[in-house]
Amino acid sequence: MMHMKQIYLFPTGFLCLVALLFSCEQAPQSTDNKADMQQRPSYAIAIHGGAGTITRASMTPEKEAAYRTALDSALLIGETVLRQGGTALDAVEKTIVYLEDCPLFNAGRGAVFTHEGRNELDASIMSGSNQKAGAVGSVMIVKNPIRLARAVMDQSEHVFLTGRGAEQFATEHNIETVDPKWFYTEQRWKTLQEMLEEEKMKGKTGSLEPATRDYKFGTVGCVAMDQQGHLAAGTSTGGMTNKRWNRLGDSPVIGAGTYASDDACAVSCTGHGEFFIRYAVAHDVWALMSYKGLSLADAADFVVNKKLVEKGGEGGLIAVDKNGNIALPFNSEGMYRGYAKPGERKILIYKE
Active site residue ranges: 219
Pairwise CA distance, residues 103 & 109, whole Å: 5
Q: How far apart are CB 127 and ligand ASP at their closest, in Å?
A: 21
- Report the SS3 class of residue 18: helix
- Rank residues 41 and 257 by Cβ distance to ligand ASP and give the closer one: 257
Q: How far apart are CB 15 and ligand ASP at their closest, in Å?
A: 26
Pairwise CA distance, residues 107 & 48, whole Å: 12
Indicate the helix (H) or strand (E) that contains 12: helix 12-22
Query: How far lies 152's CA from each of 11, 148, 288, in Å?
Result: 45, 6, 29
Q: How far apart are CB 52 and ligand ASP at their closest, in Å?
A: 7
Q: How far apart are CB 342 and ligand ASP at their closest, in Å?
A: 29
- Rank residues 240 and 319 by Cβ distance to ligand ASP and give the closer one: 240
Q: How far apart are CB 210 and ligand ASP at their closest, in Å?
A: 9
Q: What share of the chain is helix, strand, coil (3-state, %, to 5)?
A: 40, 20, 40
Pairwise CA distance, residues 70 & 94, whole Å: 14
Say which residues have a Cβ less than 8 Å from residue 168's Cβ, sequence separation at least 6. Answer: none
- Rank residues 81 and 269 by Cβ distance to ligand ASP and give the closer one: 269
SS3 labels along 176-200: CECCHHHHCCHHHHHHHHHHHHHHH
**CB neighbours of residue 162 within 10 Å:** 17
- Rank residues 110 and 273 by Cβ distance to ligand ASP and give the closer one: 273
Which segments of 84-233 does DSSP mark as H helices, in order?
A: 88-101, 145-155, 163-172, 186-202
**CB neighbours of residue 11 within 10 Å:** 8
- Rank residues 250 and 284 by Cβ distance to ligand ASP and give the closer one: 250
Query: How far lies 187's CA from each of 184, 192, 197, 283, 311, in Å?
Result: 9, 9, 15, 33, 31
Point out which residues pair with 225 in neighbouring strands: 44, 231
Q: How, if at all, do strands 133-139 and 160-162 pair? A: parallel
How many residues are given for the chain?
Answer: 352
Q: How far apart are CB 339 and ligand ASP at their closest, in Å?
A: 18
**Would you put residue 134 in left (φ > 0), alpha (ψ -120 to 50) or beta?**
beta
Q: How far apart are CB 323 and ligand ASP at their closest, in Å?
A: 27
- Rank residues 127 and 219 by Cβ distance to ligand ASP and give the closer one: 219
- Rank residues 27 and 348 by Cβ distance to ligand ASP and give the closer one: 348
Pairwise CA distance, residues 201 & 133, whole Å: 43
Contact set with ligand ASP (CB under 6 A)? 50, 106, 217-219, 237, 239-240, 249-251, 257, 270-271, 273
